[in-house]
Chains A and B, each alone.
Chain A
Amino acid sequence: EPEVTQTPSHQVTQMGQEVILRCVPISNHLYFYWYRQILGQKVEFLVSFYNNEISEKSEIFDDQFSVERPDGSNFTLKIRSTKLEDSAMYFCATGDRENQPQHFGDGTRLSIL
């Protein structure tokens, strides 16, 4: 079964540093999403991306966050100046149609020191 692949599986970074989380979507999928889950809390929507632009973003997705699909395959989430509260599991998800089930990658655990 096709998979969404995320790298790295675990990222440890000093506060204030930039991080880039990477996702390789399932090949025929056109809708891309990032979520975060703080330990013990619920999955929170960050952003959706379609046709090479952001479709919708949440209040969490402020100016320190950005997404892009630089080479037509990888889908990346960049956090410009990390804060302690950015420590969480970040999940990428992709879908082949609007508002249809999404397939999740196994996540990147981001630890900010």
Chain B
Amino acid sequence: RKEVEQDPGPFNVPEGATVAFNCTYSNSASQSFFWYRQDCRKEPKLLMSVYSSGNEDGRFTAQLNRASQYISLLIRDSKLSDSATYLCVVNPNTGGFKTIFGAGTRLFVKA
């Protein structure tokens, strides 16, 4: 099983749609979870941290299910500017601050 696995995508959605991304992780001791976005040939940028209770930031909602080792990201009312690759990121708590990125899910939002 891969350390961090994401939906392969790409997702093609119209503006205004709701889209959900899924991510699973293999190390049950993992402690910190994040969603980043990456635009083509640019650096990853933090979108949001993911907390056990779930959290929301405007149109974005992140959920964590520790029992299933599963993380999700929901984007409501998609905008053209949401087109990017969404990266699931996990700190597997191996003692030395290692950070594992998923392969990413590409989102295309079309007018």
Contact = CB atoms under 8 A, between A and B. Distances in A.
Contacts of B59: none
A44 B24 CA distance: 17
A53 to B, nearest CB: 10
Given A99-B91, A101-B49, A43 B101 contact: yes
Of the four ranges (under 10, 10 to 19, 20 to 34, 35 or more), the interface on chain A belongs to: 20 to 34
Interface in B61-80: none
A89 B97 CA distance: 21
B58 interface: no
Most chain B CB neighbours (cut-off 10 Å) among A35, A41, A42, A48: A42
Dominant SS among interface residues on chain B: loop
Binding site secondary structure of chain A: strand
Of B43, B44, B91, B103, most buried by chain A (CB within 10 Å of CB) is: B43
Interface in A20-52: 31, 33, 35, 41-45, 48, 50
Nearest to A50: B97
Nearest to A57: B96
Interface in A72-113: 89, 91, 98-107
Contacts of A105: 43
B34 interface: yes
Nearest to B104: A42
A58 interface: yes
Nearest to B95: A56
Contact of B32 (A41, A45, A100): A100
Contacts of B45: 104
Given A42-B104, A99-B91, A104 B97 contact: no
Contact of A104 (B32, B41, B44): B44
A14 interface: no
Contact of B103 (A42, A91, A107): A42
Q: Which 5 A-B pairs have the closest CB atoms?
A: A56-B96, A55-B96, A104-B43, A48-B97, A43-B101
